[in-house]
Structures are given as C-alpha cells and as structure tokens.
Amino acid sequence: MSMKICKIASLYDHRWKGGAERQAMQQAKAFVERGHQVDVITLCEPDEDEQVYAGPGGETIHRIRLGNLYFPFGGQKPNSVTRKAWHAIDVYNPVMGARIRRRLLDIAPDLAITHKLQGVSVSAWHECRKLGIYLVHALHDHELICPATAMTRGDRLCESPCLSCKGLSGVRHMLSTLPDALVGPSQSIVSRHLRFGWFRELERVAVIPNALPVDWPPPEPRPVPAAPLRVGFIGRIEAAKGIDTLLEAATRVGGDRLRLVVAGDGEHDTVAALRSRYTGETDVRFLGKVDAKAFYPQIDLLVVPSRAHESFCNVVVEAASFGVPSIVSDRGALPERVEDGRYGWCFPAGDVEALANLLSQCALAPHMVHETGQRALETREQHRYDAITDLYLDTLKMWLGARAAARCA
C-alpha cells in the first residue's frame, strides 16, 4: 500500500545537523525509496522566499515563512523581553496554522507526521485534525514541555516541569489529545510525557528507535585494548552533558591508566575554562568538532555522563556499531542503550567517584572491555537503516488500516 505522507518540522535539510533533523531527512528518503510520496512542510530561513522544490531524497519540500518576531535558530540573540514574547506567540500560532493549512490542502496527504515544532507551533495539530488527516506526533526531546528542550537549567536537572514551563506549555498540553498516535525513540521519552499527563487516552503509541545512517561504515576487527585505555567523549561540551564529571573522574584515575579524548564544541568560555583546569592534570586532548565515523575507531570506550534526561542518544548506538562499549549515566534513555553489563555500564549521574571506579575497572580489565564491545555489535542489526524503516512503515500502515476498519464498522 503506497501512502502519501506529509512531514511537518521546524528545520529540515543538510544545514541543520541535529539528531532529530538527521533522522527526519533519512526517514523521508527511506520512505520515498519504498515507493511512498513524501512532502515536507518546514520553515524558510530569514533570507529565503516561500518555495516548493524537490529534495535530495526524492521528497517535495514546502518552505513557509515564519510568522513570529525573529528566526530562533542561528546566531541571533534577542533580549529577554523579545524572547519571552516569541515563546508566548509560539504556544499556539494561528498565522502558522493558516500557512500550514494551505499546504496541507494542496498536498492532501493520507497522514501527517509532526516532528519538532518550535516556530511552527501546535497549531499544525489543530489544522490536521480539522482536515481529517491522520496525525502522528514523533517525539525527539522535551521541547513540548520545556522551551530549552532538555528539562535542565545549567547543571540542574528538572525532575518535573517548572512553573515557567507549565505556563508556556499549558495550551500544548491541552491540545496533545489531538494526535491519533505517538512515536518515540525510547521508552523513557514516551513514558515521561505520559507520566506528565501528555497525550492522554491515546491508544496508539509505539517505541521505534533511531536508525544508523544509511552510509554508516561496516565494523573492522578490534584488538584487545592496550594500556593506556583510550576513553572518548563526543557531543556538546556543556554542564548538562556532564563533561565536568568525566574530566574529574579521569583525573582521579590518572594518565598512566587512561587517555581521554574530548570531541565536540560548546561556548568558548566553557571550553576554555575546562582546558585550563584539566589540561596537564590528566592525559586529555580537546579535539573540537570531528567526523564521528573517524572518531570511534580511535577509542576503546565511550563515556556519556549526561545529567539530562536523554531521549535516545545516537552516539551510544554509533559507538556500539564499531564494537565500542559505553559507560553512561542513569539519565533518560541511556540505560536502555547499554542494558547495564550487557553492552556497557551505568553510573549515577554526577557521581564522580562511581564513574572513576568504573573507569579504573575497565582500565584494569581490557579483555572485559573488548568482550563487552563485541556484544555491543549486536545492536548494529537492531538499528540498521532498512530494519527501522520497515518497522516504521509497518506501524503506520497498521494504524491507517485500523482507522479504515473502524470507519467501515
């Protein structure tokens, strides 16, 4: 059964390198390869005109203008008053709803999948419902609940929505009954939304993990690690990601037993302060931005010490596909990725001593690290591009079929 699928997302194309954007683009290409028609409604950038054109994967891209005070993705940093006004408008933006409605009428899809909606607003849900379009919302993070998307304030974790976020998300929370179905990449991110009362009484909910990139290279044989153990971190260098916990733990273990490499970028002052504090105290190198495919073969063990409730964490899956196990914090979906003791190990987020102990154990038992990495290779098949595409499409067809059957009953 061929389907006409419309994806609605704030950002879409090669210019945006976030995990959600990469997954949405890869998915659109995969759906087209399976014979489905895919249209994508997304925002214009400030210097672009509204347009419709063919995308790189065979999808049709519809760019619409943003009807708000400024374009929030990029270098512009408005003052706090303007920023608060922007978020207030974005709670439910009827201007964006009207623009999306016009595109939906032209496309006439069988179903719509909404992704990250900052700037687009949940008015997209309302328009899909009014037009009778089957609507699936795909979770990627906590953006519906928290404008900062991660439910953190600096290095402090929010265990529940704060008053400010409750105020901004109240209308979205009420309208979360509009989608027909919900998809999330982990049980953790789905369960947290349900626990906070979102998507109430929704009968169709699926956990479909993220896929490895279609061009991901095959693994090569890995030897048992030699001393010192090569430990890696890759991602955003900021407090919420727990980089300070890792650096402090590595310092306690010592450079004679492990070598730490840190890949990624962050605020200049944050990175400079960490370089100044830890360079010389332990064997650590700050690489800046690197190609992930080239990074994983250079390490024996990945550490993801995040304080945030991660919704999936692609880097753990990517490392595992190279036979590299991970030590992860106990936040969000991270424990799901390693199944403590099977594909890696867990420690309490922010606990420097616990992480230092795990790093010491791994440094002293390279055969254990190697064996765990070989088991981690099993996850490569589970996250294969074709396998995840088939699972996603089978789920969508099942839901559409159930809807058609209910209408005929």
pLDDT tens over the chain, length 409 residues: 799 999 999 999 877 767 889 899 999 999 999 999 999 999 998 889 999 999 999 999 999 999 999 999 876 788 989 988 999 999 999 999 999 999 999 999 999 999 999 999 999 999 999 999 999 999 999 999 887 676 766 666 777 777 777 777 889 999 999 999 999 999 999 999 999 999 998 989 999 999 998 889 998 899 999 999 999 999 999 988 999 999 999 999 987 899 999 999 999 999 999 988 888 767 899 999 999 999 999 999 999 999 989 999 999 999 999 999 999 999 999 999 999 999 999 999 999 999 999 999 999 999 999 999 999 999 999 999 999 999 999 999 999 998 888 888 7
* 87: number of Cβ within 10 Å: 18
Ramachandran assignment for 264, one of left (phi > 0), alpha (psi -120 to 50 degrees), beta (any other): left
Q: Which residues pair with 263 in a beta bridge?
A: 234, 288
pTM, two decimal places: 0.93
Q: Tell me, what's the pLDDT at 139? A: 96
Q: What is the DSSP letter of 279?
A: B
Q: What type of residue is 68?
A: N
Q: Is 69 within 8 Å of 88 (Cβ atoms)?
A: no
pLDDT at 154: 60
* Residue tagged 């399976």 (tokens): 34
For residue 306, which of 229, 231, 373, 245 has the smallest C-alpha distance? 245
Q: State both tokens at 382.
A: 């589970």
CA distance 217 to 99: 41
User: What's the pLDDT score for residue 255?
Assistant: 79
* pLDDT computed for residue 105 by the predictor: 98
Q: Strand 344-347: give its sheet, edge to edge.
A: 284-288, 258-263, 229-234, 301-304, 326-329, 344-347
The Cα-based distances of 164 to 88, 167, 241, 311, 383 in angstroms read: 11, 5, 23, 22, 37
